[in-house]
Amino acid sequence: MEVALSHRPSAAAPPSSRRALWRRPGFAPGLLIGALALLLALPVLVVLGSVLRPAGEVWRHLATTVLPDYVANSLILMLGVGIGTLLIGVGTAWLTTLCRFPGRRLFEWALLLPMAMPAYLIAYTYTGLLDYAGPVQTLLRDWTGWSYGDYWFPAIRSLPGAMLMLSLVLYPYVYLLARAAFLSQSVAVLEVGRTLGQGPWGTFWRVALPLARPAIVAGVTLALMETLADYGTVQYFGVATFSTGIFRVWLGQDEPVAAAQLAALLLVFVLTLILIERGSRRRARYHHSGQRHQPIRRYPLRGWAAFGALLVCLLPLLLGFLVPAGQLAVWSWSRAATGFDARFLSLTLNSLGLAGAAALLALVVALILAYAQRLVPTPLVRSSARLAGMGYAVPGAVIAIGVMLPLAWLDNALDGWMRSTFGLSTGLLFSGTLFALLFAYLARFLSVALQTVESGLTRIRPAMDEAARSLGQRPAQVLWRVHVPLLRGSLLTALLLVFVDVIKELPATLALRPFNFDTLAVRAYELASDERLADAGPAALTIVLAGLVPVVLLSRSIARSRHVQSI
């Protein structure tokens, strides 16, 4: 007994020991970075924590009525988009990388243009073109003399229509990663396939495709996560998915807890996709060896083969960008006198202001997190940076739920305290304000800026830090005077990427924007919902033009990635 008592005081560390722990190099910065990461991950943690609450009557009603439809439609939509993006992305990547045919150089960068077209905008344009009152069916009736009911025409507002729309704008994710994988493959490995008697198809199927499998899986996973995050397309087409269900329960039935539980179930789908993608990379053990510096020798295509390759590359570009962009331009021209008015200017300024503020905020936070990892490369700091960047994989509707619940609680608690203490009501200081919207953007798009800044920092040799520190510069001075000038290109790229992502974001903006505060995306959505598609043209075209900026950056990056020559 005496021995046990003698050991009791040692269970708690003495004050000197605690001070030593606090002064340990990297401990205090690690705690600060960890606190920042927890704050940024709060929306996701709040949604995940909602599953611990007891299921209410609304949730039981959802589970027995519409939840099976949400699950089934989401799975079918993911299957269709996965197949569509896989076929289009991999096929076009192979043709533009390892084949020679007319127009190949143009398609190398032009196939990325559909990335500038948000899915909900392409849904609006094809509805205007293919609906009963659209020009296609009107022309068909004029030619044939048919009337309503005399002919069958595929319904664009349907689940297959949503699959097609999403596939046309999301295949560049697969194309981009698959083409990068094909470009990085060893020429010697491909030559071995030729010497063993394999033709172009055999070399592609047995050699190039297995080597590129991890990159292809990553591209399809990104496309599927964007599919789960989509709200504008499925809502406009009347397809019941998790995203539409979350908004219906939250805004329509005023049940935020049930909406959060529905969002948590959607997160299970997203996390499953992430685990599948990472598991695929972990199991892959393909190594690129050989003469990587040699230029790729392209297969020449002639005759019908060249025409087929041209058609395969032209159709996604035509349907995914040129046709909808042309329709938006026609609508904008027809509304030039009334569409570009003071209201449009206000919407543009709102969008630019929000996007600019969110991009600057994300850039500053990303720079802090990335530089902290360079200064204090401890597991705590690295894990905190990964935690802070997890929001990009989460749909905007889920982020909106995760932001609104804690901020509404904070507003109510603060208002109750002020009423009981001073007899004053503070109202909504956080929820329903631009603060909530900017916080949602930061949690959603920080990863875009963080990855870009981290990539730029890895190219700066640590010796430059050491040289600056030996001259008496503090870490903050080294960052400002050494790293920031060298990172100018990476910082500008990060700023532009977040800027454009915020301009295109619809679900979070729709749910969290202040009263009587609209953006271009919200205005286009509202006009399209009222079937005023032509009136939505100016706002939609402006969003597309803004989205062209990162596409141009990506195209230039790919063009510089490797010099190739034809045989």
- With beta carbons less than 8 A apart as the criterion, state whether 547 and 351 touch: no
In a domain, 316, yes or no: no
Q: How many Å apart are CA 70 and CA 73, to the nearest integer?
A: 5
Domain-embedded: residue 143: yes
Neighbouring C-beta atoms of residue 357, cutoff 10 Å? 17
H/E segment holding residue 14: none
Q: Are residues 248 and 172 in the same domain?
A: yes
Segments forming the whole domain that contains residue 386: 336-533
The torsion angles phi and psi of 378, rounded to 5 degrees, stand at -90, 160
In which element (H, E) is residue 565 found? Answer: strand 565-566
State how far the Cα of 550 lies from the Cα of 113, in Å rounded to an integer.
Answer: 10
What is the pLDDT at residue 257? 81
Q: Assign residue 147 a region: left if phi > 0, alpha if psi is -120 to 50, beta otherwise? A: beta
Do 252 and 105 fall into the same domain? yes
For 458-480, write each residue's pLDDT tens digit: 778 887 877 877 878 787 788 78
Q: What is the DSSP string of 30-89?
A: HHHHHHHHHHHTHHHHHHHHGGGSPP-HHHHHHHHTTHHHHHHHHHHHHHHHHHHHHHHH
What is the C-alpha to C-alpha distance for residues 229 and 269, in angstroms, rounded to an integer? 11
In the 8-state DSSP scheme, what is residue 395?
-
- Is residue 385 domain-resident? yes
Q: Determine contact, residues 398/228, Cβ cutoff 8 Å.
A: no
The pLDDT value recorded for residue 496 is 84
What is the predicted pLDDT for the residue at 21? 44
What is the rounded CA–CA span in Å between residue 532 and residue 526?
9
Span 245-276, pLDDT tens digits: 888 888 777 788 888 888 888 888 888 887 77
Does residue 127 belong to any structural domain of this protein? yes
* Residue 540 is assigned to a structural domain of this protein: no
Low-confidence ranges of the chain (pLDDT < 50): 1-13, 17-18, 20-22, 285-293, 562-567
Report the candidate in 331, 321, 443 with the shortest Cα–Cα distance to residue 392.
443
Bridge partners for 300 per DSSP: 100
* Listed residue (118, 117, 146) closest to 132, CA to CA: 146
d(CA 98, CA 208): 10
Judge if 289 and 357 occupy the same domain. Answer: no
pLDDT at 122: 93
Closest CA to 482 of 470, 495, 468: 468
Q: How many domains does the chain have?
A: 2
Identify the pLDDT of residue 362.
92
Same-domain pairing of 134 and 220: yes
Asked, for residue 35, whether it belongs to a domain, the answer is: no
Residues 186 and 64 in one domain: yes
Sign of CA dihedral 476, 477, 481, 482: negative
Domain assignment present for residue 331? The answer is no
Q: CA of 458: how far to CAs of 158, 449, 453, 479, 559, in Å? A: 46, 14, 9, 14, 22
Residue 31 in any domain: the answer is no
Backbone angles phi, psi at 297, to 5 degrees: -100, 120
C-alpha to C-alpha distances, 497 to 3, 113, 122, 356, nearest whole angstrom: 64, 15, 21, 11
Q: Which of 335, 323, 320 is nearest to 135 (CA)?
A: 323
Q: What is the DSSP letter of 566?
A: E
Distances (CA, A) of 257 to 188, 200, 385, 427: 58, 55, 29, 22
**Domain check: are 256 and 354 in the same one?**
no
Provide the pLDDT for residue 88: 95
Neighbours of 162 (CB within 10 A): 28
Q: What separation in angstroms does the CA of 562 have from each of 180, 185, 258, 292, 294?
A: 10, 11, 51, 10, 10
Same domain, residue pair 111 and 155 = yes
Considering Cα of 176, then 275, then 34, then 379, what sign does the dihedral take?
negative
Q: Are 349 and 263 in the same domain?
A: no
**Residues 48, 43: Cα–Cα separation, whole Å:** 9
Residues 343 and 296 in one domain: no
Q: Residue 394 is part of a domain; what is its CATH number?
A: 1.10.3720.10
DSSP sequence for 350-382 = HHHHHHHHHHHHHHHHHHHHHHHHHH---HHHH
**Is there a single domain that holds both residue 248 and residue 386?**
no
Quote the CA–CA distance of 531 and 254 in Å, as a whole number.
26
Last residue of one domain, picked from the residues 303, 325, 350: 303
Give the three-class secondary structure for 214.
Answer: helix
- What integer pLDDT is reported at residue 6 of this predicted model? 41
Contacts for 550 with CB less than 8 Å, ≥ 6 apart: 115, 116, 496, 497, 500
CA-CA distance, 327 to 321, in Å (whole number)? Answer: 10
Rounded CA-CA distance 116/266 in Å is 26
Exposure b/e, 325-353, CB count within 10 A at least 16 = b: bebbebbbeebeeebeeeebeebbebbbe
Please choose, from the candidates 45, 28, 39, 34, the residue with its C-alpha nearest in 3D space to the C-alpha of residue 369. 34
Is the domain of 292 the same as that of 346?
A: no
Together in a domain, 462 and 529: yes
